[in-house]
A = this chain, B = another copy of it.
Amino acid sequence: MNTEYDNCKWVGFDILEQFMIEVFKKAGIPEKDAAVCAEVLITSDKRGIDSHGVGRFKPIYIDRIWAGIINPVTKIDILREGPTTAVLDGNNGMGQVVAKQAMQMAIDKAKKYGMGMVAVRNSNHYGIAGYYSLMAIEAGMIGITGTNARPSVAPTFGIENLLGTNPLTIGFPTDEDFPFLIDCASSIIQRGKVEVCARIGKDLPAGLVLDKNGESKTNAAEVLQDLIHGDAALLPLGGVGEETAGYKGYGYSTVVEILSAALQGGAFLTALSGIKDGKPVPHHLGHFFIAADIHAFTELDNFKKTAGDILRTLRNSKKMPGHNRIWTAGEKEHDAWIMRQGRGVPVDQEVQEQLLELKAKYSLDSFQFPFE
């Protein structure tokens, strides 16, 4: 068993999802939207992505609703619409609700015309990007999404944390039990994983984060504080400098920053910090969603088989000495889902306390957690 779960209690998916729905409702989110928000979060936990699930429920969503910087009631305006394109304004509502509608629009347009792309402004953290790609995959499509985020990543040869961890997430269906899905930050490590390390008191590997002198920094809790104050920066995929091609990760991060903001005239870089004059303010995040209908190119089964053949060939190829397995993107998340089906979600002590605080505040006595 992974040591990161040593101080965790395992909690069933259903109780966590229901609890999140009830708390979201108490915080002012309409029932239907509350279910969407909770579903996105629990999907992350089901896929083993502990950085984006229930561990972010209170700090990233509930606390921000309480602070008045997220509107619990999500009003969505369609600012512009064409046959395959649209721009939505989320009016600072729940990111998951805006994002789900946006990807659904992209899918609907792709069904009709082959392609769809929707840009979103004035939104909030939308959870795992992969959720929205999975929506497209279920519709037999290629699903792509990206979002900007709080400033975390320095450009190559820079030390200021300006860019978000900006995921560029791409998935498609295969003939296997699970789809291909690369759902990751364009930095080496993302902020949610730093949070997980900070919660369990684990150091980061060297070479992932720079301090303001351009030296490597490994204390996760300090990194989180320093990121807020602009005294640390995550490194883009590829690492420091150019020799190992850090400029490529930096380039893709810039792609996501521009696509998330420039199609909808939105905020970018440090304006996404959620802090102004020392006070919390809305994040004004932007996202984009692309769906491409595989049926428009070929029979879906043919696509799935070729994709599956490629993935199986990769997995079955010769391993490095000392390694006995090669994974493909989305496989570890599927493994986590298989493993967790019978156990639920590992909830660490800090998150346990958050859940109990919420339970007490809203008198949700019908929920009984295994850590009470």
Residues of chain A whose beta carbon lies under 8 Å from any beta carbon of chain B? 80, 82-85, 87, 113-117, 119, 142, 154-160, 162-163, 168, 170, 172, 180, 182, 184, 186, 188-189, 205, 207-208, 210, 212-214, 237-240, 243-245, 247-252, 254-255, 257-259, 261-266, 268-270, 290, 292-294, 296-298, 302-304, 306-307, 309-311, 313-315, 317-323, 325-329
A323 to B247, CA, bound (A): 14
Q: Which residues of B contact A314 (CB under 8 A)?
A: 155, 158, 162-163, 254, 269
A119 vs B114: C-alpha distance in the bound complex, in angstroms?
13
Could you jot down 29 A-B contacts, CB within 8 Å? A80-B298, A82-B296, A84-B84, A87-B297, A155-B328, A156-B327, A158-B319, A159-B317, A159-B318, A159-B320, A162-B314, A162-B317, A168-B252, A172-B259, A180-B255, A180-B258, A182-B248, A182-B251, A189-B245, A212-B318, A214-B320, A237-B238, A237-B245, A238-B238, A257-B310, A262-B302, A262-B306, A262-B310, A264-B298
A148 nearest CB neighbor, chain B only: B310
**Choice from B83, B247, B296, B320 contacting A158 with Cβ under 8 Å:** B320
CA distance A13 to B154 in the complex (A): 37
Q: Could you tell me the distance between the alpha carbons of A158 and B326 in the complex, rounded to whole angstroms?
A: 7
The contact of A84 among B157, B250, B296, B307, by CB within 8 Å, is B296
CB-CB under 8 A for A155 and B114, given A237-B245, A306-B258: no
A245-B184, A258-B307 known; A84-B115 Cβ under 8 A? yes
Residues of chain B lying within 8 A (CB to CB) of residue A160 = 317-318
- Complex A-B, nearest 4 residue pairs according to Cβ-Cβ distance, in ascending order: A182-B251, A115-B115, A262-B306, A214-B320
Asked if A254 and B87 make an inter-chain contact with CB atoms under 8 angstroms apart, the answer reads no
CA distance A206 to B114 in the complex (A): 44
**Nearest Cβ on chain B to A296's Cβ, whole angstroms:** 4
Whole-angstrom distance between the Cβ of A137 and the nearest chain B Cβ? 12
Q: Is the CB of A329 within 8 A of B238?
A: no
Nearest CB of B to A168, in Å: 8
Contact of A303 among B156, B262, B270 (CB under 8 A): B262
Among candidates B162, B237, B326, residue contacting A237 with C-beta atoms closer than 8 Å = B237
Assuming the A-B contacts A83-B113, A306-B268, are A321 and B188 also in contact, with contact meaning beta carbons closer than 8 angstroms in the complex?
A: no
User: How far is B318's CA from A212's CA once the two chains are assembled, in angstroms?
Assistant: 9
Chain B, residue nearest A182 (CB): B251
Given A180-B254, A188-B245, 14 other A-B contacts at CB below 8 A? A80-B297, A84-B114, A85-B114, A115-B116, A159-B320, A162-B317, A172-B258, A247-B329, A254-B310, A254-B311, A261-B306, A263-B297, A263-B303, A268-B313
Q: How far is the CA of A51 from the CA of B82 in the complex (A)?
A: 41
Contact B238 A188 (CB under 8 A): yes
